[in-house]
Structure 1
Amino acid sequence: MAKSKKKWSQGVTENSDALDLKEGVFTSNDPKKIADSLKHSAENSDRRKSSPFRSAMSMLNFYINRAGEQLTKKQKGTLEKAKDELRKDFGRETRR
């Protein structure tokens, strides 16, 4: 029996109630572009329930967790670097 419905997680990513995401944001090979797009979406949303930083980071983590094993090592690395870029963009860098 073939599934005709999309997975619920794909629906959340495509139709987030909190953020209006630019199409293909997570497929970019540039972590800075991903972070900038998420930041822009979070700051311009009037539906989010937490800070722009938390909303953007939550959406990024959600995508990484839901995509799971479907992500290549390169894609996952790019998305992990996007987390660092988001922290920089919001002035939340961790000191090491």
Structure 2
Amino acid sequence: MTRNVNKWSGQITEHDSALGLEPGVFAEGNAKEIAASLKHSAEAKQDADPYRSAMSMLDFYINRAGKNLSSSRRQVLEEAKDELRRTYGRPVEG
């Protein structure tokens, strides 16, 4: 199945920098590195709530990748959610 990069969401999936993210942030690294990168990007955007912004970026990527995301990569990204929660002093689920 080929990706449709003509849609705005496809472009974001292909090019992480569209959200102000470091290139390849979701493809490589461990949960702590991903969380740190998302935190940095969210705080650089100067949103009212950088935690929500960072979590939204991560959720968007996970949802967009869907079935194309390997179970091992999905697990790392889900662990990155917990790392974000810890970083921002939020309760960790589960």
Q: Smaller-chain TM-score range?
A: 0.7 to 0.9
TM-score by length of 1: 0.81
Residues of 1 paired with 2:36 and 2:55: CA distance?
12
Residue in 2 that maps onto 1:73: 71
Residues of 1 paired with 2:61 and 2:41: CA distance?
15
Distance of aligned partners of 1:4 and 1:52 in 2 relative to their CA distance in 1, 3 Å threshold: closer
Q: Once the two structures are superposed, what CA deviation does each residue of 1:17-51 show, in whole Å capped at 9, x if it has no partner?
A: xxx100000012400000000000101113x4x40
Unpaired runs of at least 5, structure 1? none
Q: Once the two structures are superposed, what CA deviation does each residue of 1:47-79 show, in whole Å capped at 9, x if it has no partner?
A: x4x400000000000000000000000000000
Distance of aligned partners of 1:69 and 1:91 in 2 relative to their CA distance in 1, 3 Å threshold: same
Residues of 2 paired with 1:4 and 1:69: CA distance?
15
Are 1:51 and 2:42 an aligned pair? no
Larger radius of gyration: 1
- Please, what is the CA RMSD of the aligned residues? 2.3
Distance of aligned partners of 1:95 and 1:73 in 2 relative to their CA distance in 1, 3 Å threshold: closer
Distance of aligned partners of 1:36 and 1:92 in 2 relative to their CA distance in 1, 3 Å threshold: same
Residues of 1 paired with 2:3 and 2:58: CA distance?
26
Q: Offset of 1:4 from its aligned partner?
A: 7.8
Q: What pairs with 1:15-34 in structure 2 (closer than 5 Å)?
A: 15-16=18-19, 20-34=20-34
Q: Is the 8 A contact 1:39 1:53 kept in 2?
A: yes
Identical positions, percent = 49
Unpaired runs of at least 5, structure 2? none
- Larger RCO (CA under 8 A, 6+ residues apart): 1
Distance of aligned partners of 1:5 and 1:34 in 2 relative to their CA distance in 1, 3 Å threshold: closer
